[in-house]
Structure 1
Amino acid sequence: MIKTISFRSVLGLGFAAFFSQAVMANEGLTQAEANTIVKEDIASAQVMAELCPAAVGKSAKFDGNINTLIQGYLADYSDKSMTYEKIQSDSEYKSLLNEAREAAKEASSSEQKEVCDDVLSYQA
C-alpha cells in the first residue's frame, strides 16, 4: 500500500536516488512494484513542472532538468517503449499524479520553493 507523505519527502527521496547515480537493485520488488515507483517519480516531476514556474519563474534550464529527470525515470520502466506521453493515459499513473498534487498542496511555499530551487540548480 502506498502512503501519502509530504511533497518534500517524496521529491527528496526521488532526487536522492536520481542524483546519486548509484545503481539501485530492485531485489525483492516485482516488476509491477518497480514500475509503480517509476510512475510515482514521474508524477512528482510532473507536479514540479506544474508548480515551480510560479515559485522560481519560467526557465529553459528548469524545463531541461525536469525533462532529464523524467527521461531518467522512464529508463527504469520495464517497457522500454514507454514514453511520457503514453504514461499520461495510464490509470495507475493518473491516480499517483492526483496523490502527488494533493501532497504538494500540503507543502508550505518555502518547501515547494526549496525543491524547485534544487531542480533548477541541478547539474546534469
Structure 2
Amino acid sequence: MAHAESLSKAELDLLVKEDIATAQVLTEVCPTLIGENQKVVQHVNHFTQSNLKRLSNPATTLAQLKQDAEYQTAYAEAKKDSLSADQTEQKQGCEDILSL
C-alpha cells in the first residue's frame, strides 16, 4: 500500500475488506488442497484481526464485517476468483500462508 496516503478512508476500507475476504475464502479452500492445517487457520485469523484494526472503525469485528454489503460483495468476488483459479495457484496460496 505504497499509495495509501492518497486513498480516501472509503477506498482504504474497501481494500482491507477485499484482503480479509480473500483470506476467509482461503480458509475454505485450503483444507481440500493441503489438508486440515491449524497453522493456516491461525495465520488467517491473525491476518484478519490485524486488518480489522486498519478499518476506519477499528472496533469492527469479523461478525459485523460479514454483515457489511461491501464486504459481502468482496467475499463473493473472492469466492468467484478462487473457483476460476487453477488448483496449482490455489495450492500455492495455501502453502504461502504456511510459510508465514
Given that 2:53 and 2:59 are in contact with CA atoms closer than 8 Å, whether structure 1 keeps it comes out as: no
| Counterpart pick for 1:60 among 34, 38, 41 | 38
Instruction: Figure out how many residues of one structure are paired with residues of the other and give that number.
Output: 100
Q: CA RMSD in A?
A: 1.2
1:118 is matched with: 96
| Counterpart pick for 1:44 among 2, 22, 26 | 22
Q: Counterpart amino acid of 1:110? A: T
Moved more, 25-34 or 88-97: 25-34
Q: CA deviation at 1:26?
A: 2.1
| Counterpart pick for 1:92 among 48, 67, 70 | 70
Q: Unpaired segments of 5 or more residues in structure 2?
A: none
Q: CA deviation at 1:25?
A: 5.6
Matched-pair identity in %: 36
Deviations 1:45-79 (A, max 9, x none): 01101101111111111110111111121121110
Runs of 4+ in 1 over 2 A off after TM superposition: none
The reply on whether 1:107 has 2:85 as its aligned counterpart is yes
- Looking at structure 1, the residues matched to 82 and 3 of structure 2 have their Cα atoms a distance apart, in angstroms, of 28
Greater helix fraction, Structure 1 or Structure 2: 2
